[in-house]
């Protein structure tokens, strides 16, 4: 199939992009890297009259340390997420996840903001946005607002971004010396969307878990925090008993859809195995 004919405009500022969207009467789509949008156009799952190219808006670019927060511009490409030293140092779960996102050709074009806005529940970056407790800077007609990741992912491919709004940047509280983290996913082949994946960010005081955020992907209609597993770990040393207790409850945190190839019971099993491995890795980081 081929995409329906559309008009194209290249915006050079956020205001220009917002205005173009409004003038199109909402029958428009922003395009960043095009790695998710173009396939949906080709399949006619979307058929907007107007494509607004946001890939040349300078304010959507760049990675900067701002006090205790790292600001990552929405247009930061997947391969930059993999290689940027500031992201590696301050928001390491993104860097750990990046090599698992698609393949080099897609990583050269796809953007972090595009992945988060698209909100595929099987995607790595949206879940890491949850694990890192990032905040999403969104521009709209009424100005700029910041939405915590916990309030951002609403449903399948649905986020707190209203029609016409633009994700400008991702703000991440920088990791601290008493933080430990781990990421992994199970996929049939490297670069495929994961069967189950998870990223964990934990804060320790005297070897005891003070806070922990466990974010799974590919196990529900949105990226999901495993809140019961998190609660079970608070105040505990990360020993075998604590890990087993978290594994015992994690299945209830997840909501995998029916799927003949990876049924819910299989996804829950994989999630338990993955959680055990990641928590074990985090425990060893403290040794």
Q: Which residues contact 137 (CB under 8 A, 6 or more apart)?
A: 71, 144, 145, 146, 167, 168, 169, 170, 171
| CA atoms of 232 and 230, how far apart (whole Å) | 5
| CA atoms of 281 and 58, how far apart (whole Å) | 39
Distances (CA, A) of 21 to 56, 141, 160: 16, 10, 17
Distances (CA, A) of 287 to 180, 205, 239, 282: 12, 14, 12, 9
> CB of 11: closest distance to ligand FAD in angstroms?
11
Q: Which of 113, 199, 251, 256 binds ligand FAD (CB under 6 A)?
A: 113
Q: Which of 127, 132, 134, 161 binds ligand FAD (CB under 6 A)?
A: 161
Report 175-234 residues binding ligand FAD (CB under 6 A): 193
Q: Which of 14, 18, 35, 96 binds ligand FAD (CB under 6 A)?
A: 35
Q: Are strands 143-148 and 196-205 parallel, antiparallel or unpaired?
A: unpaired
> CB of 123: closest distance to ligand FAD in angstroms?
3
Report 119-148 residues binding ligand FAD (CB under 6 A): 123-125
> CB of 147: closest distance to ligand FAD in angstroms?
12
Q: Is 115 in the site for ligand FAD (CB under 6 A)?
A: yes
List the one residue out of 128, 131, 133, 90 whose CA is nearest residue 112: 128
Q: Which of 3, 10, 19, 34 binds ligand FAD (CB under 6 A)?
A: 34
Contacts with ligand FAD by CB under 6 A lie at: 29-37, 39, 54, 74, 101-102, 106, 109-111, 113-115, 117-118, 123-125, 161, 166-167, 193
């Amino acid at each position: 199939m081929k995409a329906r004919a559309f008009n194209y405009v290249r915006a050079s500022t956020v205001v220009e992009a917002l205005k173009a969207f409004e003038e199109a009467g909402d029958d428009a789509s922003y395009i960043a890297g095009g790695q998710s949008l173009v396939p949906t156009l080709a399949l006619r799952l979307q058929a907007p009259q107007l494509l607004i190219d946001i890939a040349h808006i300078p304010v959507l670019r760049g990675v900067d340390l701002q006090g205790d927060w790292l600001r990552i511009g929405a247009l930061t490409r997947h391969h930059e997420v993999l290689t940027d030293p500031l992201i590696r140092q301050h928001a390491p779960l993104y860097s750990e996840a990046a090599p698992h996102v698609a393949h080099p050709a897609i990583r050269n074009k796809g953007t972090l903001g595009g992945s988060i806005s698209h909100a595929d529940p099987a995607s790595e970056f949206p879940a890491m946005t949850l694990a890192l407790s990032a905040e999403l800077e969104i521009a709209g007609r009424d100005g700029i607002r910041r939405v915590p990741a916990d309030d951002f992912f609403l449903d399948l491919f649905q986020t707190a971004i209203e029609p016409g709004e633009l994700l400008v940047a991702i703000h991440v509280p920088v990791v601290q010396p008493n933080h430990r983290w781990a990421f992994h996913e199970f996929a049939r082949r490297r670069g495929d969307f994961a069967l189950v994946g998870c990223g964990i960010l934990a804060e320790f005081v005297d070897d005891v878990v003070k806070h922990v955020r466990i974010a799974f992907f590919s196990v529900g209609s949105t990226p999901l925090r495993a809140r019961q597993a998190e609660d079970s770990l608070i105040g505990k040393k990360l020993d075998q008993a604590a890990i087993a207790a978290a594994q015992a409850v994690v299945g209830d945190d997840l909501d995998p859809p029916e799927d003949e190839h990876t049924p819910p019971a299989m996804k829950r099993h994989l999630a338990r195995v993955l959680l055990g491995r990641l928590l074990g890795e985090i425990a060893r980081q403290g040794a």
